[in-house]
Chains A and B, each alone.
Chain A
Amino acid sequence: MTVHTPIDSRTSGVPAWALAFTVIVLLAGGAYFGTNLGGENASASGTPEPSGGGFNAVAIMDAAGCQACHGPDLAGVAIFPSLLGVKDGPVSENLAQLFADYPDTWAELWIAGTDPATSDAAMRAGMPAFAGPPYSLSPEEIAAVVAYLKTLP
């Protein structure tokens, strides 16, 4: 059987202290809003806008979970290397040979998964998360991500 003991309240009105507190904080919030409208949102897809048919590199990387391993600022965490500075080539030694063989497309190859003949399973699977679909990205999405990464310092 349902226990029903109604909860009473001592008063049904709103005391002056509660009203004053509410008005003060709402006014402060309104003032913050009114005095901080001069800015502009940064592009979620990085600067400059990546090419690639309207794909958003940051959205793709966010969905694929890149920051989970490479850090929120993509500067690397523990064994997971930094993605900053890849405009000059890979920052990891294990990709040096790939860079030497394919200096223009090494990043796309690495993200997509390298040659099936490669002995290293992780390198063969590629990025992200060393796993297959749906974390794997389409060629257009990979192009957008690489274009964005190459804009980073």
Chain B
Amino acid sequence: MAVNPKKLRPYDTPTRRRVPLIPDGPDAAATVFLVAAIVWLVAATGIGVLWAGMQLFPDLLSLTLSVPTFSGTLEIVMSPATIGAGFWNAVVFGWLSNAGLGAILFITPRVLGQRLVGEQVGAAAAGLWNVGMLAGLTAIYVPSIAATGTLAEFPLPVDAVLLLALLLVNDVFWRTGMSARERAPYASVWFFGVALLGFTVLYAVGTLVPLVSDGTTFAALVGAAYARGLETVWVLGVAFGVLYYIVPRATGNALHSSGVALLGWLTWAVLAALAPLAALVDSSVPFALTQAGNAATIMLVVPAFLAIANLLLSLRGRWTLLLSPGTVQYAMVALAFLATTALLEALSALGSVRDLIGGTEWTVGVRFFAFFGATTFALLALTDHAFPRLLRRDWGGTIVTTATLWATFAGTAISGLALIAGGVVHGSLLQGGAAPEEIEATLFWANAVAGSGLGLVALGGLAAALNVFLMYTDGRRAEYAVGATAAASASAGQ
């Protein structure tokens, strides 16, 4: 029966639907993480452009500001050291980790057939993570409160907030897994489980060890292994998990072989945990232990190439998807960078190569391929697939998607190659006993080219953010129905 609102008495007024402070709807946690990730991609690459400029003109761009406070003066330092630290932290913990955690919370319920247990807890974790990130990134520029160590510059209270957020995501992930009706979870969940647990343990170790033994050889070695572990366990694990989900889903094909996926997961889980041992370079560490890390780094080509072969074979009959901008194109670029990174890492682990390029720009170049190539493209593929489902709108068009892909691809390739070539030249000049002035002059151009590449990556990040903004404000409303096949989704304009 229809109700005339004018005849309602005050006590008849329908209760208003209360909007919770922390969203609890389906996919709320994944949405917060993924939207924040896109914002961090823009921020991180913007800081990166500034950092690249500082490599070339440090005297022009460095500055120190004194801000008066109640308890004295606070120094804000913009130097190559602080800007560089800000860049890498924003990339790893801002962009890659937000997108990685969002990917885990988006994919896990979909492959387990089980709604996320604790959606609100996940959304709270997303809020905590990003508040912590903002505070941590600000603290890096205030040396009086920042901590020290690669990817460990956040002060202790910020580390505590980030660790709490990670524990909350673990809680949601594992409770969802335990209550799933799927007895044999899909490959992506195996990768996410190890990556998430590994990330949490690594972050806890990276936070606690400097507290008990700061400035010692032990702390320095643990810090180096921690930074390397973040790359092999967390960043690489997320890339594998996402790619194993996104390729079959976007093509509508079955995965070629779950046995190959299991073999790849087993080898990755063991080797990714061993590879950071290669960072333990000190006379107090048995040489065999360091070499075990180098051998594990070489052997990491196994899970990489098993994943590449498995996913390429899964594309059978759907090759035409490579021609249309979007999820599959992003995923294929990610696989190409994954192959390149695995081979370059293996090469870097060889003793004779290490002697030449150790401590040079080569390492940064390979890291560019890993972070901005393999993992960023895997996560861009995920966002391309996920945002229409999260925001219930279609992408507006293909121009901005194409711009995102090409700017990010060209920028990553240019930066990575320039730094790798610069590293080889740097190592050769050092071995030849070149004067510092000669090395500096030679590397100026490599750094300039790498900086311009990073500028292109920043443009790609801006295009990605613009694409999401246009979709949200102007995109056609669309529902991705339960049980819709990916092929149907693809034809609906994803």
Q: In the bound complex, what is the Cα–Cα distance between A87 and B214 (angstroms)?
A: 27
Q: In the bound complex, what is the Cα–Cα distance between A28 and B296 (angstroms)?
A: 11
**Contact assessment for B220 and A75 in the assembled complex, using a CB-CB cutoff below 8 Å:** no
Which residues of B sit under 8 angstroms from A37, Cβ to Cβ?
287-288, 291
Q: What 0/1 readout, one digit per residue, does chain B (393-409) give for beta carbons within 8 Å of chain A?
A: 00000000000000000
Given contacts A15-B260, A22-B263, is CB(A59)–CB(B217) below 8 Å?
A: yes
Which residues of B sit under 8 angstroms from A141, Cβ to Cβ?
215
B328 within 8 A of A: no
Partner of B305, one of A12, A21, A44: A21
**Contact assessment for B482 and A3 in the assembled complex, using a CB-CB cutoff below 8 Å:** yes
B340 within 8 A of A: no
Which residues of A sit under 8 angstroms from B219, Cβ to Cβ?
59, 63
Q: In the bound complex, what is the Cα–Cα distance between A55 and B214 (angstroms)?
A: 10
Q: What 0/1 readout, one digit per residue, does chain A (40-51) give for beta carbons within 8 Å of chain B?
A: 111111000000
**Contact assessment for A22 and B306 in the assembled complex, using a CB-CB cutoff below 8 Å:** yes
**Contact assessment for A59 and B257 in the assembled complex, using a CB-CB cutoff below 8 Å:** no
**Contact assessment for B245 and A7 in the assembled complex, using a CB-CB cutoff below 8 Å:** yes
**Contact assessment for A75 and B439 in the assembled complex, using a CB-CB cutoff below 8 Å:** yes
Nearest chain A CB to B448 CB, angstrom units: 12
Which residues of B sit under 8 angstroms from A131, Cβ to Cβ?
64, 75, 77, 143-144
Which residues of B sit under 8 angstroms from A40, Cβ to Cβ?
283, 287
**Contact assessment for A18 and B436 in the assembled complex, using a CB-CB cutoff below 8 Å:** no
- In this complex, the interface size class of chain B, counting residues with CB under 8 Å from chain A, is 35 or more
CB contacts under 8 Å to B, within A66-93, are 68-69, 71-73, 75-80, 82, 84
**Contact assessment for A41 and B281 in the assembled complex, using a CB-CB cutoff below 8 Å:** yes
Q: In the bound complex, what is the Cα–Cα distance between A104 and B290 (angstroms)?
A: 39
Q: In the bound complex, what is the Cα–Cα distance between A78 and B53 (angstroms)?
A: 12
Which residues of A sit under 8 angstroms from B258, Cβ to Cβ?
9, 11-12
Binding-face segment, B79-87, B167-175, B199-207, B452-460: B79-87
B476 within 8 A of A: no
Q: In the bound complex, what is the Cα–Cα distance between A83 and B3 (angstroms)?
A: 83
**Contact assessment for A73 and B58 in the assembled complex, using a CB-CB cutoff below 8 Å:** no
Q: In the bound complex, what is the Cα–Cα distance between A12 and B186 (angstroms)?
A: 12
CB contacts under 8 Å to A, within B390-433, are 430
**Contact assessment for A77 and B147 in the assembled complex, using a CB-CB cutoff below 8 Å:** no
Q: In the bound complex, what is the Cα–Cα distance between A135 and B77 (angstroms)?
A: 12
Nearest chain A CB to B438 CB, angstrom units: 10
Q: In the bound complex, what is the Cα–Cα distance between A22 and B75 (angstroms)?
A: 54
Given contacts A6-B182, A41-B281, is CB(A13)–CB(B257) below 8 Å?
A: yes
Which residues of A sit under 8 angstroms from B111, Cβ to Cβ?
4, 6-7
Q: In the bound complex, what is the Cα–Cα distance between A28 and B294 (angstroms)?
A: 12
**Contact assessment for B259 and A59 in the assembled complex, using a CB-CB cutoff below 8 Å:** no
Q: In the bound complex, what is the Cα–Cα distance between A130 and B34 (angstroms)?
A: 38
A119 within 8 A of B: no
Which residues of A sit under 8 angstroms from B186, Cβ to Cβ?
6-7
Which residue of B has the minimal Cβ distance to A122?
B64
**Contact assessment for A26 and B220 in the assembled complex, using a CB-CB cutoff below 8 Å:** no
Which residues of B sit under 8 angstroms from A3, Cβ to Cβ?
110, 389, 480, 482-484
B254 within 8 A of A: yes
Partner of B257, one of A2, A12, A134: A12
CB contacts under 8 Å to B, within A27-57, are 28-30, 32-33, 36-37, 39-45, 54-56
Which residues of B sit under 8 angstroms from A116, Cβ to Cβ?
none
Which residues of B sit under 8 angstroms from A98, Cβ to Cβ?
none
Which residues of A sit under 8 angstroms from B215, Cβ to Cβ?
55-56, 59-60, 63, 141
Which residue of A has the minimal Cβ distance to B181?
A4
Q: What 0/1 readout, one digit per residue, does chain B (478-492) give for beta carbons within 8 Å of chain A?
A: 001011111000000
**Contact assessment for B281 and A63 in the assembled complex, using a CB-CB cutoff below 8 Å:** no
Which residue of A has the minimal Cβ distance to B143?
A131
Nearest chain A CB to B221 CB, angstrom units: 7
**Contact assessment for B283 and A42 in the assembled complex, using a CB-CB cutoff below 8 Å:** yes
Q: In the bound complex, what is the Cα–Cα distance between A34 and B259 (angstroms)?
A: 29
Nearest chain B CB to A84 CB, angstrom units: 7
A8 within 8 A of B: yes
B474 within 8 A of A: no
Partner of B261, one of A9, A22, A32, A132: A9
Given contacts A68-B81, A131-B64, A133-B144, is CB(A18)–CB(B26) below 8 Å?
A: no
Nearest chain A CB to B447 CB, angstrom units: 9
Q: In the bound complex, what is the Cα–Cα distance between A131 and B144 (angstroms)?
A: 8
**Contact assessment for A2 and B282 in the assembled complex, using a CB-CB cutoff below 8 Å:** no
Q: What 0/1 readout, one digit per residue, does chain A (97-134) give for beta carbons within 8 Å of chain B?
A: 00000000000000000000000000000001111111
Can you offer 30 A-B residue contacts whose CB atoms are under 8 A?
A1-B26, A2-B115, A4-B483, A7-B255, A10-B254, A10-B256, A11-B259, A17-B309, A18-B306, A30-B295, A33-B292, A33-B294, A36-B291, A37-B291, A39-B291, A41-B285, A43-B283, A44-B220, A56-B220, A59-B216, A59-B220, A65-B85, A68-B79, A69-B79, A75-B436, A75-B439, A77-B58, A79-B59, A130-B77, A134-B144
- Which chain A residues have a beta carbon within 8 Å of chain B's beta carbons? 1-15, 17-19, 21-22, 25-26, 28-30, 32-33, 36-37, 39-45, 54-56, 58-60, 62-65, 68-69, 71-73, 75-80, 82, 84, 128-135, 141
Q: Please give 12 more A-B residue pairs, beta carbons under 8 A apart, in addition to A22-B267, A29-B298, A129-B81.
A: A3-B484, A4-B483, A6-B186, A7-B111, A7-B245, A13-B259, A22-B263, A59-B216, A62-B150, A78-B55, A134-B143, A135-B143
The 3 tightest CB contacts between A and B, nearest first, are: A59-B220, A68-B81, A9-B258
